[in-house]
Amino acid sequence: MSTELPKTYEPASVEATAYQTWLDAKAFHADPADPGESFCIVIPPPNVTGALHLGHAINNTLQDILVRKARMDGHNAVWIPGIDHAGIATQAVVEKQLKEIENKTRHDIGREALVQRIWEWKQQYGDRILSQLQRLGCSCDWDRTRFTLDDMCARAVRETFFKLFKDGLIFRGKRLVNWDTHLQTSISDDEIYYENVKTFLWHIKYPIVEGTEGKSDEATKRRSDEGGRTPSPTLPQGGGSGSIPSPLGVGEGGGRPDHLVVATTRPETMLGDTAVAVNSADPRWNWAIGKFVKLPLTNRLIPIIADDILVDPKFGTGCVKVTPAHDPNDYAVWQRHQGKADQIDLINILNSDGTLNENAGTYKGMRRDLGRKKVVEDLTHQGLLVKEEPYETQVGHSDRSKTAIEPYLSDQWFVHMAPLAEPALEVVRQGLVKFHPERHAQQYLAWLGEKRDWPISRQLWWGHRIPIWSKEFGTRAEATTIMQEMSKSFECENNAARLHESDGRYFVLVCLGDDTCGDLVTGKISTILERDGFIQDPDVLDTWFSSALWPHSTLGWPEKTPDLAKWNPTTVLITARDIITLWVARMVMMNLYNMGENRWTSQTAEEAKTKISDRKSEIIRHIPFAHVAINPTILDGKGERMSKSKGNGVDPVEIIDTHGADALRFTLTTMATETQDVRLPVKKLPDGRNTSDKFDFGRNFCNKLWNASRFALANLESACPLLNQQSTINLADLSLADRWLLSRLARTVAEANAALASFRFDHYAHVCYEFFWRDFCDWYVEIVKPTLKDPRQAAITAPVLAAALDQSLRLMHPVIPFITETIWWKLNDVVTDRSLPGLVNAPAAKLLIKAAWPTPSASLIDDRVEKDFTLLQETIVAIRNVRNEHKVDLKRVVQVTIAAIDEPSAKILLANQQTIALLATCELQAVKVAAPAPADAVRTSAGNCDIFIAGMIDADAEKQRVAKRGEDLAKLIATLEGRLGNAGYIAKAPPHLVEQTQKQLADAKAELAKL
């Protein structure tokens, strides 16, 4: 017997073999020259820092489903795998290791050595991630595995940076960044977490100075130079007598106070204050606008300005100290007032390590917490501290170093977003890029719509080094001259130079797009530059900069490769919703920019809209992907997001060990709904590994498939002679069950197609489950058991069984590839041709992964057949039901008489009486219209046919059963009568519904009457 298959499906014994077979057959490998419609998915590259968890498992399972389906559809399909170098996260991990094992910092070993160590680390952990994907069954084209820091990606990064620089979209600027004083790097907003900290709100007196004599600060000078205009034209005259009395700082003389009070949680930052802001509509303070205060401890004079955005008069004292260099809101004030009459200064008081610098005067060198203590002490001594009130606030901390972040003014590189964002917004608005579910587009549009400039420099060593060399010159003229000379010697188009002015200093910045196109004699351009005193920027790029290029950089861009021509735009991106902004939006921007012929940008929304409307067919070739499908978030048992940083991630390999890869995949796929996140309680095994009962669902399904296949294979083998002399089978030769099964099969394939086309993975898994377990196993297989033993009947049944199994395996292969592939080989051994000519086409294939997707003839879908079969099912269930209620022994054959409602029903039931007898363990006495009820028989019904079962002796059980049915009917009748009694219903509801209700009522009444 060919079914030496074990009774229970053992994933471990087949998975490795199947996977190796696919690899050996190069089944994952794609060639752009091959025929077939392009289908491409690029993997969301997992961070090299961590092992994969179940969140990755669901994401990659869904991708694998689509790519396997596409392959079976005959598309030229490729799935590009890869890993992200994850800048700060990776460097932090290796630095931590360095500290723990060797007690060294990165400065001890230097840039090159550290980067070398990170590469070693990457090798080890990157391989682990790839092997996890392989255990999961991912059919990635491993020959095309990329790393965001490899040479191919680096080339794309340099080229992109260069183009952006040349187009003026990259600029250098001083910005307030989130500064990690420990790692001494800027970090992005998403790398910050907030902690509640109990501190104080200190209220500090700032004395008001009448007049402006004695002031010497720049801002005042500038204002004087500009003619001493009134700072705030909206200032109402004679304020101060307003109805709100000032509780604080009322001076002895007159009605006006001689000082104002500000409140702060960070008193040490007052050393960098450059203004005090009030609301122009606040009568308590608006009279003071334009005056000055003497900043305590430093004795600098700083202006009182109006800023209605910053200051909420209802909050606190109504006066806000402004420290532009150390607070994001205050920085915004500085920006708002730049170039205006009341522009203010910007003073940085911190060093990059978080200590106070020379601008902090006598506090220089102190750490920020010490400085704070000292400032409070000194203010207290001077009697300027009004109040110290307990206060709880949230302080941002670095995700990596766990230390408090500091808003810090620093030189950074930025990408100017607006011109890139407009086209990216428009392609989504116009539906060239579609989100699934659609609502996620909102987040994308909202975020991108802000067009906030993108800070791309990171003070790290691990990453793409910024391809800029710079040198300072004494004067603008000198710098300009050098620029001109350089432009002569730079024949190559791939380099650009620009003059940069900062704080009155002049720099020449040179961006090298392609360092290799220098003079062949003198060598690389960078070498020449460095010889001339230019130095390369020490910073590296934000990881997202390289990730943003992923859909084209992985395919070889900027080279015009066959891969790129074939597979970009890619077909669909599947990702988690938390990186819609950081990643998805940027990919859309950069693909449009890089792949568009003329590095297209748009200054206005209108311009973008017009261009895209007019040239849709062209633009559609420049998007990175046509669809973005968002997969659910995996939560742990407590409902918290599974993530590496939280440490609650579960390794999919542990689940695969206990349940099998297919069970994991199938279960996760049923959970991939559009709305719900997936809550996955896990439990610890004695050996410390995790597992979860949730995956029993998938494991059971696989086991069912395994055993149904064992049954089918054993029976097909014995029917083999019949199969090989197979003659054409006509629909008319088939039994009701055969035709029903084929109808259900065809319907299921259609539903699966629709589900996958709309990224409803849960629907796909669901229809597979229903068809295979419920229809195929529970009904069809049970019905054909005796048929298969009769050679005459088996001549029809066996081919149908073989075809149905063949199609089922194809249908389910994308979600459960290992088990279906393994069974496929066995099926190939037993029956070579499973086609039913004209009905089911089943082209032979050695490997299922390369087989054709099922395409049973649509004409097989037959509502009439399905309805007739339902009558058969209901009849059987009704008899089983009564048997169970009466506790009839399973083996006891009961006598049944069926009084059919009409001739067609009688005909169906009569034709299938053997099936009824078999599945309901009964003997049919009579099946005909209006058959008389035998004496002492219990009555039940199905499809309005009366079913009489003789020999039921449990009177109590019967009484109960009848009573319950009577109650149900009474309820139903009341509902239906109510509906029909409603004049509106009769008048307005569609006639077929009214008719249906009337019929239901009549049937219910008739049944009740018979009870």
Partner RNA sequence: GGGCGAUUAGCUCAGUUGGCUAGAGCGUUCGGAUCACACCCGAAAGGUCGGGGGUUCAAGUCCCUUAUCGCCCACCA
State in angstroms the smallest separation of the CB of 342 from RNA.
Answer: 18
- Four-CA torsion 182, 187, 191, 196, nearest 10 degrees: 60
Q: Is residue 870 part of the contact set for RNA (CB under 7 A)?
A: no
State in angstroms the smallest separation of the CB of 365 from RNA.
Answer: 24
Length of the chain: 1011
* Rounded Cα distance, 342 and 212, in Å: 14
Helix (H, G, I), strand (E, B) or coil at 27: coil
User: Which residues have C-beta within 8 Å of that of residue 332, sequence separation ≥ 6?
Assistant: 309, 310
Q: Which is nearer to RNA, 620 or 777 (CB)?
A: 777
**Quick one: three-class SS letters along 426-477?**
HHHHCCCCEEECCCHHHHHHHHHHHCCCEECEECCCCCCECCEEEEEECCHH
State in angstroms the smallest separation of the CB of 801 from RNA.
Answer: 12
Q: Is residue 473 part of the contact set for RNA (CB under 7 A)?
A: no
Site for RNA in 738-797 (CB under 7 A): 762, 766, 773, 777-778, 781-782, 785
Contact region for RNA (CB under 7 A) — 66-74, 102-110, 324-332, 804-812?
Answer: 324-332
Size of the site for RNA (CB under 7 A): 92
State in angstroms the smallest separation of the CB of 359 from RNA.
Answer: 19
Q: Which is nearer to RNA, 96 or 452 (CB)?
A: 452
State in angstroms the smallest separation of the CB of 278 from RNA.
Answer: 8
* Rounded Cα distance, 50 and 511, in Å: 34
State in angstroms the smallest separation of the CB of 265 from RNA.
Answer: 5
Site for RNA in 626-655 (CB under 7 A): 633, 639-641
Residue given tokens 């307030």 in the structure block: 176
Q: Is residue 328 part of the contact set for RNA (CB under 7 A)?
A: yes
Q: Which is nearer to RNA, 138 or 876 (CB)?
A: 876
Site for RNA in 654-673 (CB under 7 A): 671, 673
- Please choose, from the candidates 32, 37, 35, 119, the residue with its C-alpha nearest in 3D space to the C-alpha of residue 80: 32
Buried b (16+ CB within 10 A) or exposed e, 620-641: eebbbbebbbbbbbbbbeeeeb
State in angstroms the smallest separation of the CB of 443 from RNA.
Answer: 6
Single residue of 368, 710, 810, 834 touching RNA by CB under 7 A: 710
Q: Which is nearer to RNA, 337 or 622 (CB)?
A: 337
Single residue of 96, 131, 194, 790 touching RNA by CB under 7 A: 194
Name the phi and psi angles at 436, rounded to 5.
-130, 115
Pairing verdict, β 185-187 and 170-180: antiparallel
Site for RNA in 62-91 (CB under 7 A): none
Q: Which is nearer to RNA, 369 or 693 (CB)?
A: 693
State in angstroms the smallest separation of the CB of 704 from RNA.
Answer: 5
Contact region for RNA (CB under 7 A) — 167-175, 828-836, 860-868, 878-886?
Answer: 878-886
Single residue of 7, 488, 560, 792 touching RNA by CB under 7 A: 7
Single residue of 109, 201, 620, 933 touching RNA by CB under 7 A: 201
Single residue of 520, 890, 935, 1009 touching RNA by CB under 7 A: 890
State in angstroms the smallest separation of the CB of 512 from RNA.
Answer: 33
Q: Are 874 and 915 in contact (CB under 8 A)?
A: no
Ramachandran bin of 421, using left for φ above 0, alpha for ψ from -120 to 50, beta for the remaining angles: alpha
Q: Which is nearer to RNA, 890 or 935 (CB)?
A: 890
- Four-CA torsion 30, 34, 38, 42, nearest 10 degrees: 20
| Bridge partners (DSSP) listed for residue 197 | 393
Helices (H), 680-790: 696-718, 720-724, 736-757, 761-769, 782-787
Single residue of 150, 674, 717, 833 touching RNA by CB under 7 A: 674
Single residue of 215, 577, 586, 813 touching RNA by CB under 7 A: 577
Contact region for RNA (CB under 7 A) — 75-83, 443-451, 461-469, 682-690?
Answer: 443-451
Residue 778 is given by DSSP the state I
- Please choose, from the candidates 458, 460, 427, 461, the residue with its C-alpha nearest in 3D space to the C-alpha of residue 445: 427
- Please choose, from the candidates 189, 88, 176, 182, the residue with its C-alpha nearest in 3D space to the C-alpha of residue 412: 176
CA triple 755-848-4, angle to 5 deg: 120
Q: Are 432 and 616 in contact (CB under 8 A)?
A: yes
Site for RNA in 513-532 (CB under 7 A): none
State in angstroms the smallest separation of the CB of 677 from RNA.
Answer: 6
State in angstroms the smallest separation of the CB of 577 from RNA.
Answer: 6
Q: Which is nearer to RNA, 21 or 881 (CB)?
A: 881
Q: Which is nearer to RNA, 96 or 439 (CB)?
A: 439
State in angstroms the smallest separation of the CB of 707 from RNA.
Answer: 3
Single residue of 21, 329, 895, 998 touching RNA by CB under 7 A: 329
- In single-letter form, the type of residue at position 572 comes to V
Single residue of 184, 335, 357, 443 touching RNA by CB under 7 A: 443
State in angstroms the smallest separation of the CB of 326 from RNA.
Answer: 10
Q: Which is nearer to RNA, 511 or 768 (CB)?
A: 768
User: Interface mask (CB under 7 A) for RNA, residues 171-190, using x and -?
Assistant: ------------------xx
State in angstroms the smallest separation of the CB of 458 from RNA.
Answer: 18
Q: Which is nearer to RNA, 465 or 694 (CB)?
A: 694
Please tell me the number of Cα atoms within 13 Å of 767 on its side-chain side.
19
Site for RNA in 221-280 (CB under 7 A): 262-266
Q: Which is nearer to RNA, 145 or 975 (CB)?
A: 975
Query: Token pair of 910, please?
Result: 């009569």
User: Interface mask (CB under 7 A) for RNA, residues 679-708, using x and -?
Assistant: x-------------xx-xx-xx-xxx--xx
- Please choose, from the candidates 38, 31, 57, 50, the residue with its C-alpha nearest in 3D space to the C-alpha of residue 574: 57
- In single-letter form, the type of residue at position 904 comes to P
Single residue of 720, 877, 929, 1008 touching RNA by CB under 7 A: 877
Q: Are 643 and 397 in contact (CB under 8 A)?
A: no
Single residue of 153, 176, 664, 678 touching RNA by CB under 7 A: 678
* Rounded Cα distance, 242 and 235, in Å: 14
What is the CA 522 to chain-centroid distance, rounded? 49
Site for RNA in 351-410 (CB under 7 A): 393-394
Q: Are 181 and 406 in contact (CB under 8 A)?
A: yes
State in angstroms the smallest separation of the CB of 971 from RNA.
Answer: 7
Site for RNA in 287-316 (CB under 7 A): 310-313, 315-316
Q: Which is nearer to RNA, 374 or 679 (CB)?
A: 679
Q: Which is nearer to RNA, 676 or 832 (CB)?
A: 676
State in angstroms the smallest separation of the CB of 52 from RNA.
Answer: 19
Helices (H), 770-888: 782-787, 791-812, 817-830, 863-885
Q: Are 293 and 301 in contact (CB under 8 A)?
A: yes
Site for RNA in 946-985 (CB under 7 A): 964, 968, 972, 975, 982, 984-985
State in angstroms the smallest separation of the CB of 571 from RNA.
Answer: 23
Q: Are 980 and 987 in contact (CB under 8 A)?
A: no
Query: Token pair of 439, please?
Result: 């609502």
User: Which residues have C-beta within 8 Å of that of residue 821, sequence separation ≥ 6?
Assistant: 18, 21, 22, 813, 847, 848, 849
Site for RNA in 980-1009 (CB under 7 A): 982, 984-985, 987-990, 993, 1000, 1004
Q: Are 832 and 90 in contact (CB under 8 A)?
A: no
